[in-house]
Chain A
């Protein structure tokens, strides 16, 4: 039997995938994660116009707004010029303020005593703001909210959510959350099983049953964990540049993701110079850098034989605005050919 083991050097299969619900895009800082995630989202939205897509930035240093050239906030908003792609930026500080405001408004005239009064005094934001990994936790809450909304059929429903994640360390913490939280809730469940009534009275008479809420949370977390480890529903796209440290971090990320049972089979290598084919602008420095990039590209090929390794060019300007992103993103669907597509890198509209 002759098996064709060649893997396409593009993301066509992902872009046209009808099963994927969660797509994570991550890598080291400054390698083009936002551009890549925006490009994937745009290509998916263009290829599947009947579906709704949501691009969420979980990176504390948001730049989705900069990439699209329009302001996005904590609520999903459609990208101007596209009716099936929405974006949102989760702002931990704003989310914490909301939680605090909500707590204060609930607390007016309450005076029930217990822990709830203390939280309603504004201590909630102080408490949660100081917890390490709160950004990831808030992103996770957003995912849970989204799932709940889908289950209840309320509000905007999205078929696929694309995450523009924070640099590697944050992302790994975020992806560990379902497992960690699951274990924590199991332990907590044991305690509340024994001390449930006491905890309820401690929290104040106006509060609902803690055990029931915990069980609901546990069920949601388990659903997410199952979905995240299902390769038909979730995949991770690694973004890197052809340099040692970036590749090293990508390898670390891939190995970690494999250990979480997450599907990862795509790597986008950004900022490639393709100097051999650029007759017009072919300086000595470009040639030297391209030589180095080629060396690492060969190594990537050897290490990730069964991955979709997509080679993306370094453009002359910043890739900002929907038009530029559309131009650039098509190379995710059909691989960039430096001989024929070279002109595109100088054709980007100036948005600076």
Chain B
């Protein structure tokens, strides 16, 4: 996708959107949505990755199995007729209870480490790069609007330069007043506030619009298709 700068747009963005930027942004959005919808399975994934093969988890599972077997055996025999066996089992169960408690603490600690690993991975591989991309390429234009007369000036500026435009606009007004009395052009020149005739949609705004549309679609689908149908309230019969 190459966006050529229209020749008539003399004061439009200096940047040209490159394909990889848009692709990377879409990948981040999709990855974020995938992680959002699979959050229920994250524990299991972390468990498989961090516990399944660890000696503590294997020992924990084995001890739990042994505990269950002994409990079942003790429930199946008469304590009075098999007192020695029953008591020996109880001693083993007491010992096992301590071991299981210790192993459970180890497994939980490993689980916590796994959760932390997942959280950090998400931060390092998704959140931070996505934020970096938005900061770095956020002002690049994804496409130009066919006409600059579609939206009011404020909105045009916002689409073109992102949310920063809204923040800078009042400052620009104040500075223009000041400039008329004192020469502060050395400051105003630095503030590249949109005022040109060609209006484009910057990456930051495009991503905001994309995620908003996706969220709205999700809401509609969840409400109309996936949501549980509520039963109509029962109307109380009128007293005669």
Which positions in A face B, CB cutoff 8 Å?
244, 247-248, 251, 255, 296, 298-299, 302-303
Contacts and interface: CB of A to CB of B under 8 A. Distances in A.
A106 to B, nearest CB: 49
Contacts of A248: 79, 87
Contacts of A255: 91, 94
Interface residues of B, number: 9
Contacts of B94: 255
B91 A299 contact: no
Contacts of B90: 251
Interface string B23-38: 0000000000000000
B79 A299 contact: no
B79 A244 contact: yes
> Which of the listed residues B79, B87, B88, B91 has the most CB atoms from chain A within 10 Å of its own CB?
B87
B80 A302 contact: no
A251 B84 CA distance: 11
> Which of the listed residues B79, B84, B90 has the most CB atoms from chain A within 10 Å of its own CB?
B84
A244 B79 CA distance: 8
Interface of B: 79-80, 83-84, 87-88, 90-91, 94
A302 B91 CA distance: 14
A302 B79 contact: no
Contacts, number: 21
A303 B79 contact: no
A303 B90 CA distance: 12
Contacts of B80: 244
A255 B88 CA distance: 12
B83 A247 contact: yes
21 contacts: A244-B79, A244-B80, A244-B83, A247-B83, A247-B87, A248-B79, A248-B87, A251-B87, A251-B90, A255-B91, A255-B94, A296-B83, A298-B84, A299-B83, A299-B84, A299-B87, A302-B84, A303-B83, A303-B84, A303-B87, A303-B88
Interface SS majority for chain B? helix
Nearest to B82: A299
Interface SS majority for chain A? helix
Contacts of B84: 298-299, 302-303
A191 B65 CA distance: 47
A298 B79 CA distance: 14
A298 B88 CA distance: 14
Nearest to A302: B84
- What are the 3 closest A-B residue pairs judged by CB atoms, nearest first? A299-B84, A302-B84, A299-B83
B92 to A, nearest CB: 12
Contacts of A244: 79-80, 83
A329 B83 CA distance: 29
Contacts of A303: 83-84, 87-88
A303 B86 CA distance: 10
A278 B94 CA distance: 41
Given A247-B83, A303-B84, A303-B88, 12 more contacts: A244-B80, A247-B87, A248-B79, A248-B87, A251-B87, A251-B90, A255-B91, A255-B94, A296-B83, A298-B84, A299-B84, A303-B83
A144 B94 CA distance: 34
Contacts of B83: 244, 247, 296, 299, 303
B86 to A, nearest CB: 9
A297 to B, nearest CB: 11
A295 to B, nearest CB: 8
Contacts of B79: 244, 248
A303 B85 CA distance: 9
Contacts of A251: 87, 90
A255 B84 CA distance: 15
A296 B80 CA distance: 9
B168 to A, nearest CB: 59
A248 B91 CA distance: 12
A244 B81 CA distance: 9
